[in-house]
Chain A
Amino acid sequence: GAVVSQHPSWVICKSGTSVKIECRSLDFQATTMFWYRQFPKKSLMLMATSNEGSKATYEQGVEKDKFLINHASLTLSTLTVTSAHPEDSSFYICSAQGSGSLYEQYFGPGTRLTVT
Protein backbone atom coordinates (compact mmCIF):
# COMPACT_ATOMS: atom_id res chain seq x y z
CA GLY A 1 0.00 0.00 0.00
CA ALA A 2 0.80 3.72 0.08
CA VAL A 3 1.94 4.03 -3.52
CA VAL A 4 2.46 7.43 -5.06
CA SER A 5 3.12 7.91 -8.75
CA GLN A 6 4.54 10.91 -10.52
CA HIS A 7 4.52 11.78 -14.18
CA PRO A 8 6.61 12.44 -16.12
CA SER A 9 9.72 10.92 -14.57
CA TRP A 10 11.91 13.26 -16.56
CA VAL A 11 11.33 16.16 -18.89
CA ILE A 12 13.46 18.48 -20.98
CA CYS A 13 11.95 21.76 -22.01
CA LYS A 14 13.05 25.01 -23.58
CA SER A 15 13.44 28.17 -21.60
CA GLY A 16 10.19 30.13 -21.42
CA THR A 17 7.87 27.17 -21.73
CA SER A 18 5.68 25.66 -19.00
CA VAL A 19 5.82 22.16 -17.63
CA LYS A 20 3.13 20.30 -15.71
CA ILE A 21 3.98 17.51 -13.27
CA GLU A 22 1.32 15.16 -11.95
CA CYS A 23 1.32 13.41 -8.59
CA ARG A 24 -1.17 10.67 -7.82
CA SER A 25 -1.84 8.57 -4.74
CA LEU A 26 -2.79 5.19 -6.17
CA ASP A 27 -4.17 3.26 -3.22
CA PHE A 28 -5.16 5.82 -0.61
CA GLN A 29 -6.80 9.19 -0.36
CA ALA A 30 -4.30 11.97 0.18
CA THR A 31 -5.79 14.83 2.09
CA THR A 32 -2.47 16.65 1.98
CA MET A 33 0.21 16.65 -0.67
CA PHE A 34 3.60 18.29 -0.54
CA TRP A 35 5.95 19.43 -3.27
CA TYR A 36 9.70 19.43 -2.77
CA ARG A 37 12.69 20.20 -4.91
CA GLN A 38 16.15 18.82 -4.45
CA PHE A 39 19.41 19.91 -6.02
CA PRO A 40 22.23 17.40 -6.42
CA LYS A 41 23.70 16.31 -3.09
CA LYS A 42 21.49 18.77 -1.25
CA SER A 43 18.64 18.40 1.22
CA LEU A 44 14.98 18.25 0.36
CA MET A 45 13.47 21.70 0.18
CA LEU A 46 9.76 22.01 0.82
CA MET A 47 8.12 24.25 -1.75
CA ALA A 48 4.45 24.09 -0.83
CA THR A 49 1.73 22.22 0.99
CA SER A 50 -1.61 21.61 -0.63
CA ASN A 51 -4.89 20.32 0.72
CA GLU A 52 -7.61 18.99 -1.51
CA GLY A 53 -9.91 21.76 -2.63
CA SER A 54 -7.86 24.53 -1.03
CA LYS A 55 -5.20 26.92 -2.20
CA ALA A 56 -1.68 25.76 -1.66
CA THR A 57 0.48 27.22 1.08
CA TYR A 58 3.88 28.21 -0.24
CA GLU A 59 7.12 28.33 1.69
CA GLN A 60 8.94 31.59 2.01
CA GLY A 61 10.86 32.45 -1.12
CA VAL A 62 8.81 30.21 -3.42
CA GLU A 63 6.94 32.19 -6.08
CA LYS A 64 3.35 31.06 -6.20
CA ASP A 65 2.81 32.55 -9.66
CA LYS A 66 5.74 30.59 -11.02
CA PHE A 67 4.97 27.28 -9.35
CA LEU A 68 1.24 26.73 -9.74
CA ILE A 69 -0.19 23.96 -7.62
CA ASN A 70 -3.61 22.42 -8.02
CA HIS A 71 -5.00 19.72 -5.72
CA ALA A 72 -8.25 18.98 -7.48
CA SER A 73 -9.04 15.63 -5.90
CA LEU A 74 -7.98 13.38 -3.05
CA THR A 75 -5.72 11.46 -5.38
CA LEU A 76 -4.25 14.07 -7.70
CA SER A 77 -2.10 17.15 -7.34
CA THR A 78 -0.30 18.98 -10.11
CA LEU A 79 2.65 21.34 -10.14
CA THR A 80 3.09 23.61 -13.13
CA VAL A 81 6.40 25.35 -13.58
CA THR A 82 5.54 28.41 -15.65
CA SER A 83 8.00 30.21 -17.92
CA ALA A 84 10.74 27.82 -16.91
CA HIS A 85 14.35 28.95 -16.87
CA PRO A 86 17.58 26.97 -16.58
CA GLU A 87 17.80 27.75 -12.86
CA ASP A 88 14.52 25.85 -12.40
CA SER A 89 16.27 22.66 -13.47
CA SER A 90 16.01 20.35 -10.50
CA PHE A 91 14.55 17.13 -9.10
CA TYR A 92 10.92 17.76 -8.13
CA ILE A 93 9.36 15.28 -5.73
CA CYS A 94 5.82 15.10 -4.42
CA SER A 95 4.65 13.33 -1.31
CA ALA A 96 1.21 12.35 -0.12
CA GLN A 97 -0.24 12.06 3.35
CA GLY A 98 -3.49 10.42 4.34
CA SER A 99 -5.93 11.54 6.98
CA GLY A 100 -5.75 9.92 10.39
CA SER A 101 -2.10 9.09 9.90
CA LEU A 102 0.86 9.72 12.15
CA TYR A 103 1.97 12.31 9.62
CA GLU A 104 4.04 9.90 7.57
CA GLN A 105 4.56 11.02 3.99
CA TYR A 106 4.90 8.72 1.02
CA PHE A 107 6.99 10.05 -1.79
CA GLY A 108 6.52 9.78 -5.51
CA PRO A 109 9.49 8.70 -7.64
CA GLY A 110 10.30 12.29 -8.60
CA THR A 111 10.52 14.25 -11.83
CA ARG A 112 13.83 15.42 -13.17
CA LEU A 113 13.37 18.70 -14.99
CA THR A 114 16.00 20.08 -17.31
CA VAL A 115 15.44 23.50 -18.85
CA THR A 116 17.63 24.30 -21.82
Chain B
Amino acid sequence: QKEVEQNSGPLSVPEGAIASLNCTYSDRGSQSFFWYRQYSGKSPELIMFIYSNGDKEDGRFTAQLNKASQYVSLLIRDSQPSDSATYLCAVNPPKSGSARQLTFGSGTQLTVLP
Protein backbone atom coordinates (compact mmCIF):
# COMPACT_ATOMS: atom_id res chain seq x y z
CA GLN B 1 0.00 0.00 0.00
CA LYS B 2 1.34 3.40 -0.96
CA GLU B 3 1.75 5.86 1.86
CA VAL B 4 -0.20 8.56 0.05
CA GLU B 5 -2.62 7.57 -2.69
CA GLN B 6 -4.37 9.70 -5.25
CA ASN B 7 -6.30 8.84 -8.37
CA SER B 8 -4.02 9.77 -11.22
CA GLY B 9 -6.92 10.89 -13.37
CA PRO B 10 -7.25 12.56 -15.67
CA LEU B 11 -10.24 14.21 -14.07
CA SER B 12 -12.25 16.44 -16.38
CA VAL B 13 -14.89 18.89 -15.23
CA PRO B 14 -16.74 21.62 -17.13
CA GLU B 15 -16.01 25.24 -16.42
CA GLY B 16 -17.98 26.48 -13.43
CA ALA B 17 -18.40 23.05 -11.87
CA ILE B 18 -16.96 21.77 -8.61
CA ALA B 19 -13.82 19.69 -8.92
CA SER B 20 -13.29 17.15 -6.16
CA LEU B 21 -9.84 15.71 -5.58
CA ASN B 22 -9.24 12.96 -3.08
CA CYS B 23 -6.27 11.59 -1.20
CA THR B 24 -5.85 8.78 1.31
CA TYR B 25 -2.88 8.15 3.56
CA SER B 26 -1.72 5.10 5.40
CA ASP B 27 0.00 6.46 8.51
CA ARG B 28 -2.65 7.21 11.10
CA GLY B 29 -0.27 9.39 13.10
CA SER B 30 0.13 11.95 10.29
CA GLN B 31 -0.54 15.45 11.46
CA SER B 32 -0.24 17.96 8.63
CA PHE B 33 -1.73 17.76 5.17
CA PHE B 34 -1.01 19.85 2.12
CA TRP B 35 -2.29 20.43 -1.37
CA TYR B 36 0.07 21.62 -4.07
CA ARG B 37 -0.76 22.63 -7.61
CA GLN B 38 1.75 21.92 -10.37
CA TYR B 39 1.35 23.29 -13.86
CA SER B 40 3.03 21.39 -16.64
CA GLY B 41 6.74 22.17 -16.74
CA LYS B 42 6.61 24.18 -13.52
CA SER B 43 7.36 23.47 -9.88
CA PRO B 44 4.68 22.78 -7.25
CA GLU B 45 2.90 25.67 -5.58
CA LEU B 46 1.36 25.36 -2.11
CA ILE B 47 -2.34 26.21 -2.22
CA MET B 48 -3.76 24.81 1.02
CA PHE B 49 -2.78 23.12 4.22
CA ILE B 50 -4.94 21.63 6.96
CA TYR B 51 -4.22 19.91 10.24
CA SER B 52 -7.57 19.77 12.05
CA ASN B 53 -10.52 17.58 11.23
CA GLY B 54 -13.18 19.35 9.25
CA ASP B 55 -13.18 21.92 6.48
CA LYS B 56 -10.89 24.81 5.74
CA GLU B 57 -11.89 27.32 3.11
CA ASP B 58 -9.73 29.74 1.17
CA GLY B 59 -11.45 31.50 -1.68
CA ARG B 60 -12.63 28.92 -4.20
CA PHE B 61 -10.68 26.16 -2.47
CA THR B 62 -11.87 24.00 0.41
CA ALA B 63 -9.72 21.37 2.06
CA GLN B 64 -11.45 18.64 4.02
CA LEU B 65 -9.76 16.37 6.52
CA ASN B 66 -11.10 13.22 8.13
CA LYS B 67 -8.42 11.63 10.28
CA ALA B 68 -10.62 8.72 11.37
CA SER B 69 -11.04 7.67 7.74
CA GLN B 70 -7.54 8.81 6.80
CA TYR B 71 -8.50 10.91 3.86
CA VAL B 72 -8.09 14.47 2.81
CA SER B 73 -9.81 16.14 -0.10
CA LEU B 74 -9.70 19.36 -2.05
CA LEU B 75 -12.76 20.98 -3.55
CA ILE B 76 -12.42 23.65 -6.20
CA ARG B 77 -15.60 25.65 -6.70
CA ASP B 78 -16.42 27.50 -9.91
CA SER B 79 -13.61 25.69 -11.71
CA GLN B 80 -11.76 27.69 -14.33
CA PRO B 81 -9.63 26.52 -17.25
CA SER B 82 -6.67 28.08 -15.42
CA ASP B 83 -7.18 25.48 -12.67
CA SER B 84 -6.11 22.78 -15.11
CA ALA B 85 -3.00 21.29 -13.51
CA THR B 86 -1.75 18.35 -11.52
CA TYR B 87 -2.70 18.48 -7.86
CA LEU B 88 -0.35 16.87 -5.37
CA CYS B 89 -1.41 15.73 -1.93
CA ALA B 90 1.36 15.74 0.68
CA VAL B 91 1.42 14.38 4.21
CA ASN B 92 3.79 14.80 7.11
CA PRO B 93 4.14 11.28 8.46
CA PRO B 94 5.27 10.85 12.06
CA LYS B 95 8.21 8.72 10.99
CA SER B 96 9.83 11.76 9.40
CA GLY B 97 10.56 13.02 12.89
CA SER B 98 13.30 15.59 12.89
CA ALA B 99 13.75 15.21 9.14
CA ARG B 100 10.50 17.16 8.63
CA GLN B 101 9.92 15.51 5.30
CA LEU B 102 6.66 15.32 3.41
CA THR B 103 5.41 12.28 1.57
CA PHE B 104 3.82 13.19 -1.75
CA GLY B 105 1.15 11.40 -3.69
CA SER B 106 1.66 10.88 -7.39
CA GLY B 107 -0.85 13.60 -8.21
CA THR B 108 -4.22 13.93 -9.91
CA GLN B 109 -4.34 15.62 -13.30
CA LEU B 110 -7.30 17.98 -13.54
CA THR B 111 -8.63 19.41 -16.78
CA VAL B 112 -11.29 22.10 -16.72
CA LEU B 113 -13.12 22.23 -20.03
CA PRO B 114 -14.24 25.65 -21.28
Question: What is the interface of chain A, defined by CB distance below 8 A to chain B?
Answer: 2, 32, 34, 43-44, 46, 49, 57, 93, 97, 102-110
Partner of A49 from the list B51, B101, B104 (CB cut-off 8 Å) is B101
Distance in angstroms between the alpha carbons of A34 and B96 in the assembled complex = 13
User: Which of under 10, 10 to 19, 20 to 34, or 35 or more describes the interface residues of B?
Assistant: 20 to 34
Distance in angstroms between the alpha carbons of A73 and B92 in the assembled complex = 25
Question: What is the interface of chain B, defined by CB distance below 8 A to chain A?
Answer: 32, 34, 36, 42-46, 49, 51, 88, 90, 92, 96, 99-102, 104-107
Q: Which chain B residues border A46 with CB–CB below 8 Å? A: 101
Contact A34 B43 (CB under 8 A): no
Contact B104 A44 (CB under 8 A): yes
Q: Which chain A residues border B106 with CB–CB below 8 Å? A: 43
Q: Which residue of A lies closest to B99 (CB)?
A: A49
